[in-house]
């Protein structure tokens, strides 16, 4: 097992400990929430190596061509071939055949702390593949110009979507394309943490935006990824709307070399601005949390 993976497991264990210690000191309702957060998840499954997977699935890897979202812009698409297996087959094998239920997320955990939670239903709507190599190219890496990163390793696995046959997926850019995937699990805990108190019903869509575009790298109320693990609701308390929008829409202009990607860069500008405003309103409305 690669070293990074081991570090990641140690980190999750630490976080679990921290959760249960704070739980002791919290009120009964908050404690119930935390319990719900910790128990309603299945165990994380390590992604097996390609040779083991090929044997378990009794199927050779297939080649799939996709518009590589990290290398493409609204004006020019770069098509790249990858080899791997349909994600549904891999998930059936690792998670058992009943993982695909409404309201459930599939969580893809990456070696770099990135956590991608994708609604299970999406895998019935669009074909996805877990790939492990790129035939005809020298390495299994990609440049990520919008995050100012070069030759980023994609392995052990990279989740790609068939956006050639489903061009509607192009608008999402690299959202839902986690790379360095080393573990998968099923979790149905998201919405409770993102819509506490009376936020449910009023901010559902905004929480959905945060979940899709921000919480792969950041957190809100304990939910999210560890790539840059700040709590966004906490962080925006001292940001003005203008500062926030500028940062989210053009991080590179605020901080040259920033490794945060601009929000949904393939979506038309006026719509992106509305999204940034809604995210700000939602984060500001978030009740203060015990840190």
Residues in the chain: 291
213 binds ligand HEC, rule: CB under 6 A: yes
Cβ closer to ligand HEC: 85 or 203? Answer: 203
Rule CB under 6 A: choose which of 228, 241, 284, 287 binds ligand HEC.
Answer: 228
User: Are the C-beta atoms of residues 38 and 19 closer than 8 Å to each other?
Assistant: yes
263 binds ligand HEC, rule: CB under 6 A: yes
277 binds ligand HEC, rule: CB under 6 A: no
145 binds ligand HEC, rule: CB under 6 A: no
Say how far apart CA 271 and CA 1 lie, in whole Å. Answer: 43
251 binds ligand HEC, rule: CB under 6 A: yes
Rule CB under 6 A: choose which of 261, 272, 282, 286 binds ligand HEC.
Answer: 261
Rule CB under 6 A: choose which of 235, 246, 265, 266 binds ligand HEC.
Answer: 235
214 binds ligand HEC, rule: CB under 6 A: yes
Indicate the DSSP class of residue 76. Answer: -
218 binds ligand HEC, rule: CB under 6 A: yes
Half-sphere exposure of 16 (CA within 13 A, CB side): 9
What DSSP letter does each residue of 109-164 carry, written as one string?
EETTS-EEEEETTHHHHS-EEEEEE-TTSSSSEEEEGGGTEEEEE--SBEEEE-TT
User: Are the C-beta atoms of residues 185 and 210 closer than 8 Å to each other?
Assistant: no
Give the interface with ligand HEC as residue ranges (CB under 6 A). Answer: 213-214, 216-218, 227-228, 232, 235, 247-248, 251, 258-261, 263, 279
């Amino acid at each position: 097992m690669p070293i990074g993976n081991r570090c990641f497991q140690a980190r999750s264990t630490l976080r679990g400990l921290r959760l249960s210690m704070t739980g002791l000191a919290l009120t009964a309702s908050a404690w119930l929430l935390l319990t719900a957060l910790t128990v309603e998840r299945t165990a994380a499954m390590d992604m097996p190596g390609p040779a083991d997977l090929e044997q378990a699935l009794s199927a050779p890897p297939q080649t799939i061509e996709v518009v590589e979202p990290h290398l493409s812009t609204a004006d020019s698409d770069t098509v790249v071939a990858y080899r791997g297996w349909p994600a549904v087959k891999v998930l059936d094998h690792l998670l058992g055949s009943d993982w695909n239920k409404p309201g459930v997320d599939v969580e893809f955990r990456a070696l770099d702390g990135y956590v991608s939670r994708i609604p299970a239903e999406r895998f019935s709507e669009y074909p996805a593949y877990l790939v492990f190599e790129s035939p005809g190219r020298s390495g299994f890496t990609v440049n990520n110009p919008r995050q100012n990163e070069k030759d980023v390793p994609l392995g052990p696995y990279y989740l790609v979507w068939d956006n050639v046959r489903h061009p509607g997926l192009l608008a999402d850019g690299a959202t839902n394309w986690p790379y360095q995937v080393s573990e998968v699990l099923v979790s149905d805990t998201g919405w409770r943490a993102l819509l506490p108190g009376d936020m449910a019903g009023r901010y559902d869509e905004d929480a959905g935006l945060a979940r899709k575009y921000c919480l792969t790298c950041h957190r809100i109320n304990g939910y999210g990824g560890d790539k840059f693990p700040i709590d966004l609701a906490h962080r925006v308390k001292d940001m003005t709307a203008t500062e926030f929008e500028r940062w989210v829409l053009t991080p590179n202009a605020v901080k040259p070399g920033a490794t945060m990607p601009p929000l949904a860069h393939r979506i038309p500008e006026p719509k992106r601005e509305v999204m940034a405003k809604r995210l700000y309103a939602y984060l500001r409305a978030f009740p203060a949390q015990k840190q």
